Amino acid sequence: MSLLEVKNLGIHFGGLRAVDGFNVSIEQGSLYGLIGPNGAGKTTVFNLLTGVYQPTEGTFFLDGENLTGHSTMEISHRGIARTFQNIRLFTKMSVLDNVKVGLHRHVKYSLVSGIFRLPSYFRDEQELNERARKLLEVFDLYGEKDFLASNLPYGKQRKLEIARALATSPKLLLLDEPAAGMNPNETAELMETIRFVRDEFNMTILLIEHDMKLVSGICEEITVLNFGQMLAQGKPSDVLNDPKVVVAYLGE
């Protein structure tokens, strides 16, 4: 069974069909790309899969469970995490605390324990700090654990956002244009990071990206959207050479 199964998913805003008849099946452990021109509906698909928008039609299943119509929090708890095109870190919090926010599901102590700093509070905080430390070490960020997130260079902010998403223990990780704003060296490093996350965490990854070198370099399959509709789907080498896809990106 596929980890993610999307069937005829769509949403319209008045007369505008932002996404229409979107279908995809993604196997466990896959690195899958979602591409298309600006305004094609890619981020709208992510918003549908994470409960930001409720679909007008269609369904989607994660690991066999129908999550259609669930709230963002419920979908997160079921195992879908995401990053954003514009980095959304808690900039005035430390690097360590940003990751600990993602570990909120592992908090066991009660409100009373937290207020009065009872022994259970300190035990759980120590466990959360240890979990956060391990994630930061994976991304070579532990040395900056006390830095404000805003003081990290751009490439490391991207890594921190991925680390925070992984802290929620997802089954499926959605990356929205992770290479946006990166120089070629940062993009090459990001490619290795994404591969590492997939292999080290046995993670299934669906990413939106405009950098075709990154897409063709790491994605095993891709889907192309254009004006909210699926234009092509398959192996990158086939899809990126499809005349319809070339026209959608470059024009007649």
Q: How far apart are CA 209 and CA 195, in angstroms?
A: 15
The pLDDT value recorded for residue 112 is 45
Q: How far apart are CA 171 and CA 188, in angstroms?
A: 25
The pLDDT value recorded for residue 203 is 96
pTM of the entire predicted model:
0.91
Measuring CA to CA, which residue among 99, 81, 23, 19 is closest to residue 206?
81
DSSP letter string, 31-94: EEEEE-STTSSHHHHHHHHTTSS--SEEEEEETTEE-TT--HHHHHHHTEEE--SS----TTSB
Measuring CA to CA, which residue among 9, 36, 33, 35 is closest to residue 23?
9
Q: How far apart are CA 156 and CA 160, in angstroms?
A: 6
Low-confidence ranges of the chain (pLDDT < 50): 112, 116
Measuring CA to CA, which residue among 171, 162, 166 is closest to residue 62?
171
Domains of the chain (ranges; CATH) run: 1-79+170-252 (3.40.50.300), 89-167 (no CATH)
Measuring CA to CA, which residue among 184, 161, 42, 38 is closest to residue 102?
161
The pLDDT value recorded for residue 119 is 65
Q: Which tokens sit at 136?
A: 């930061």
The pLDDT value recorded for residue 15 is 83
Residue 152's region, left for phi above 0, alpha for psi from -120 to 50, else beta, is: beta
